[in-house]
Structure 1
C-alpha cells in the first residue's frame, strides 16, 4: 500500500450491500465503530456490530474479500499465525495474522488474505463479527539445521578413510 493518508476500502456488512470509501489507516478504528469517508466526501461511522470485514482494496470497482477466494490452497508462505475465522453468519475466512502479538488491534484482527493477486490486499475483521477464531498453524522463517559433526562416529572397516 502506498504512503497516502487515506486508503481505498470496501466495508462489508452483514445485512446490507457493501460500502465503498476511504479510511485513514492510523485512526479509522474508533471505540464505537469504523469511520469511513464515502467517495462524495461524507463521513460515516459504522458500528462494529454491523461490520463483517473491512477490505483494503486496489480498486473500488473490484470485489471485497468475501467475494474472492477465502482459503489457502496450500500452506501459506507468509510468516505469522495462519488462522481460520468463522463469522456469526457461518461464513469462513482464512488469513495470516502477525506473529507479534503486540501488533494485534484492540477491536479486531488485521490479516493478510489468501489470494495475493486479488483486489483485496489486507483485511480487518472486528471481534464482534466473529463466532470463532482458530489457529491452523504457525508459519515462520526457516529454522537453522543443526550443524553436522565432521568427526566420523562409525568405525571404518579394512582401513577405509
Structure 2
C-alpha cells in the first residue's frame, strides 16, 4: 500500500463504522471514497458520517479515551470544541490557516496524541456547533510605550 493511502475508520452517525484506506483527496461530490479491507471501493455520503478517524491500527478502537484537553494545549493552532448532532462533544486542535479549511469539513488533532487516533476529519454536516476556545501560538510582542522612552534628541 502506498504511503498516500492512510488507514481510517469511518464512523457514521448511526453508530456503524467501516475500516479501510483513503487517498490524499478522499472527498468527491459530497462523498468519501473508501477502499475497504475487502478491497472494494465504497462511496459514503458526507451527511451520514460523524468522523473519518485516521488511525495507526485497525485492531484498536477509534474511540478516544480522552475527548477534552486536561490543560491548555502546547501545540500551535486553534483550540476548538465541536458539538455533534448526537450531542457528543470533542475538543481538538486545528491549523490556524484558512487555506486548510474546506467547505466539506475540518481536520483536527485529538487531545490524546498517544491514542490510536492521530487525526479526525469532521464533516460540517455532522456538527451543530463549533467554538474556538483559544488561539495557541507564538507570544505576541508588545510594542514599547512611546511615552516611557526618554527623548534622545531635542528639537
Q: Which TM class, normalised by the smaller chain length?
A: 0.7 to 0.9
Cα distance, 1:24 vs. partner?
0.3
What SS does the aligned partner of 1:141 have? coil
Q: Is the 2:64–2:117 Cα contact (8 Å) retained in structure 1? A: no
Max Rg structure: 1
For structure 1, the 5+ residue unaligned runs are 148-152, 154-161
Measured on the aligned residues, the alpha-carbon RMSD in Å equals: 2.1
What SS does the aligned partner of 2:125 have? helix
The aligned residue for residue 45 of structure 2 is 47
Q: For residues 16 and 36 of structure 1, what CA distance do their matches in structure 2 show?
A: 17
- Which runs of structure 1 show a deviation greater than 3 angstroms over 4 or more consecutive aligned residues? 142-147
Q: For residues 143 and 35 of structure 1, what CA distance do their matches in structure 2 show?
A: 42
The aligned residue for residue 22 of structure 2 is 23
Cα distance, 1:14 vs. partner?
1.1
Q: For residues 37 and 68 of structure 1, what CA distance do their matches in structure 2 show?
A: 27
Task: Output the TM-score relative to the length of structure 1.
Answer: 0.84
Q: Could you give the per-residue CA deviations for residues 84-121 of structure 1, whole angstroms, max 9, x where no partner exists?
A: 00000000010011101111122000011100000000
Distance 1:11 1:119, change over 3 A: same
The aligned residue for residue 13 of structure 2 is 14
Q: Is the 2:64–2:112 Cα contact (8 Å) retained in structure 1? A: no
Q: For residues 16 and 79 of structure 1, what CA distance do their matches in structure 2 show?
A: 32
Q: Could you give the per-residue CA deviations for residues 43-87 of structure 1, whole angstroms, max 9, x where no partner exists?
A: 0111011100001000011111x4431110101111111000000
What SS does the aligned partner of 2:133 have? strand
Q: For residues 39 and 96 of structure 1, what CA distance do their matches in structure 2 show?
A: 29
The aligned residue for residue 110 of structure 2 is 113
Q: Could you give the per-residue CA deviations for residues 2-36 of structure 1, whole angstroms, max 9, x where no partner exists?
A: x70200001111114211110002x1011221111
